[in-house]
Chain A
Amino acid sequence: MSTIEFFLAGTLSAATIFLLAALGELVAEKSGVLNLGVEGMMAVSAAVGFVVTYETGNHLLGFAIAGVSGVIVSLVFAVITISFLANQVASGLAVGILGLGLSALIGNNHESLTIASTNGIAIPFFSDLPLIGPVLFQQNIVVYLTFALALCIGFTFKHTRLGLAIRSTGENPHAAQALGFPVFLIRYCCVAFGGLLAGFAGAYASTIYTPLWADGMIAGRGWIAVALVVFGTWKTGRIAFGALLFGMVSLGELIAQSMGARIPSQLLSSLPYIVTIIVLAIISTNAARMRLHAPFSLGEVFDGSESR
């Protein structure tokens, strides 16, 4: 594999982590719930996924249990914000703190251990094509499924009754309830779905992308996923594009090293964070446009009353 192929293939793989988590957060936010606990959910499931895969040698099982643990953590958030009507921002932070603690606790006995990496799926014929073969057609199955999922979610929101139900819950829960949509149930399911995808994202990070366990390995990627939803103005296509951009940025350190550039590694490590801030500032400048695209009731407490 040439350097450029390695770089592009790596971009796609790194982007998968961002995209999975961001898609989950998108679905939760579309239903009106701002879950800032993505980093915590990813951290827990990264630890769980790693430990299970390490102990059983079964990647699929590791992924499945990581997904379940993501759902469980997200349900903690759902109970306090949806049933107990707690402030969503503070609750997200709380779940984030709890998740990071749990993650360290779960991975405590597996620090610095590694597991065998998985092979990608080579798609016949296409994988032999020059350049695009190794980049596009020799990836892990999770990569393919994630981008397919992005399409599915985009379609669901645009063209299905389920998408309509979620969107109206996020825009105006009072009206959605009056129309007969089960607002509380929809929000629970959307948050849980977000937890599932954050769980898969964590498992992908710790068992496939970098198959080793180190405490704190999620390193802010959950937060970047939250930012990606804003960057993409709550649209799947743009979120996928943003995920690819950040996949590329997060490989910055490797590229610079391979080109022999003499840039402090700390500057390159900060690059994703710096880019996040700059892009966030550029995208958010137009406050009116942001309000137009954001789900109208995002972050607001809904207590089931008939009207405001």
Chain B
Amino acid sequence: MQFKLDRRVHYSKAMLIATPIMAVGLSMLVCTLLLLVLNKPVLLTFHSFFIAPFENFYSITEIFLKFGPLLLIAQALAVGFRAKVWNIGAEGQMIIGAIAASSVPVYFVDSTSAWLLPAMIVLGALGGMAWAAIAAFLKTQFNANEILVTLMLSSIALQILYYLLLGPWKDPMGFNFPQTVMFQDEALFPYLFDGARINTSIAIPIIFTIGIWLFMEKHFGGFRLIVGGLAPSAATYAGFSSKKAVWSSLLLAGFAAGIAGMSEIAGPIGQLQRSVTSGYGYSAIIVAYLGALNPIGIIFAAFFLAVLQIGGDVALVSADLPISAVHVFQGLLLIFYLATYTFVNYRLRVVRPITQATPKLTS
């Protein structure tokens, strides 16, 4: 018995929805095996991951705290991925956005101006866009592969961050820790509830999502990006310029990642420090794919990965599971998603050897 993949005439809508669910199921299966190998309690771990995050109000607000930046960055990345612009350097764009925004409270330590926060938002966005623009420029002018460039730029951004935190921006009263001063309240987003870290910045990803959704569904530009990604030759027919796709995809991602970075330093962290990104830039790639590069799908995917991150923190304590296990699970999710996505466009056919059981003609 052999298997063969036959191309479908039309892609399967049912499979499109089933794919992420299958990916989650298969990833959980492999993780169960992994947990058994590691000799960790399976049920307790899954409880920590998927039930415990919903058990109290604080924990639920923490899910939304993670949901925000994942949603924001993934929405922007998905636009680029649709146009086959492989920006995988959102992490670096996020860092530079955070640095640019931090310059305001770092240099105006005593300011109580109401303009602090708006200025930080603008600088955060510009910082992220500027960092992404380097990759866009090198891609359009020098044909330099944006995957490698954005990735290298992330490593460089991290070194810039370290330089600032160990040198000029280090808090003089901070016991030599690599971090800036704690920012004043005027430089922080107001909290939504007492006793929870979730703040008003959650509005930004939600507005951004609506904007992207309108853009992709209604606007001609969205159509062009879709066409440019899925059928390059059709795109050339329509006079579509690939340079425009590169610039708009990267600037959009830089904008989103920059603001995401800014929201971290002006939100839960409250200062600039080494762990400013929490790996959102990379997780957002998985969110974008798991959401089928679709603005609505990405909402669910971002929420799922946010739960996974909170669950990972719980499992760290309850099941003594290393935090890297969350990354393994994320990697598995993407791998199984990509593998099962095949069935959106292909049908599996079982081919039986011809010699076997050929029915005899009746005489």
Chain B residues near A99 (CB-CB < 8 A): 331
**CB distance B152 to A223 under 8 Å?**
yes
Q: Is the CB of B155 within 8 A of A273?
A: yes
- Bits for A106-132, please: 1 = Cβ < 8 Å to B, else 0: 001000000000000000000000000
Do B155 and A220 touch across chains, with their CB atoms under 8 A apart? yes
Partner of B151, one of A87, A215, A223: A223
User: At the interface, yes or no: B43 with Cβ under 8 Å from chain A?
Assistant: no
Nearest residue in B to A288 (C-beta to C-beta)? B143
A residues in contact with B86, CB < 8 Å: 89
20 further A-B contacts with Cβ under 8 Å, apart from A84-B340, A89-B147, A90-B81, are: A80-B338, A80-B339, A84-B338, A85-B342, A89-B86, A93-B88, A94-B331, A97-B286, A101-B331, A223-B151, A226-B148, A266-B162, A267-B159, A274-B152, A274-B156, A276-B152, A277-B149, A280-B138, A281-B144, A287-B143
- In angstroms, Cα B147 to Cα A36, docked, is 9
Interface SS of chain B: helix, strand, loop or mixed? helix
Q: Determine if B289 is an interface residue (Cβ-Cβ < 8 Å).
A: yes
Residues of A within 8 A of B156 (CB): 270, 273-274
In angstroms, Cα B92 to Cα A223, docked, is 15
Contact B324 A86, beta carbon cutoff 8 Å: no
Given contacts A223-B148, A280-B144, contact A97 B339 (CB under 8 A): no
A264 to B330, CA, bound (A): 35
A95 part of interface (Cβ distance < 8 Å): yes
Asked if B17 CB lies within 8 Å of chain A CBs, one says no
Smallest CB separation, B140 vs chain A (Å): 11
Question: What B residues does A76 contact at CB under 8 A?
Answer: 335
Interface, chain A (partner B; CB < 8 A): 36, 40, 76, 79-80, 84-87, 89-91, 93-105, 108, 215, 219-220, 223, 226-227, 230, 264, 266-267, 269-270, 273-274, 276-277, 280-282, 284-287, 290, 303, 305
Chain A residues near B144 (CB-CB < 8 A): 277, 280-281, 284
Size range of the chain B interface in the assembly = 35 or more
- Any chain A CB within 8 A of the CB of B184? no
* Complex: chain A residue closest to B343, CB-CB: A84
> Does B163 sit at the interface, judged by CB under 8 A?
yes
Q: Which 9 A-B pairs have the closest CB atoms?
A: A98-B331, A101-B327, A104-B324, A101-B328, A94-B334, A281-B142, A86-B338, A266-B163, A273-B152
Q: Contact between A86 and B342 (Cβ–Cβ < 8 Å)?
A: yes
Residues of B within 8 A of A303 (CB): 5, 7, 346
Complex: how many Å from CA A305 to CA B4? 11
Taking the complex as formed, is B174 at the interface, i.e. its CB lies under 8 A from any CB of chain A? no
Chain A residues, CB < 8 A from B145: 227, 230, 280, 284
A-B contact list, 22 entries, CB within 8 Å: A80-B338, A80-B339, A86-B338, A86-B339, A89-B86, A94-B286, A95-B331, A96-B331, A97-B327, A100-B327, A101-B324, A101-B331, A104-B324, A108-B324, A220-B155, A223-B148, A230-B145, A269-B159, A273-B156, A274-B152, A281-B142, A285-B142
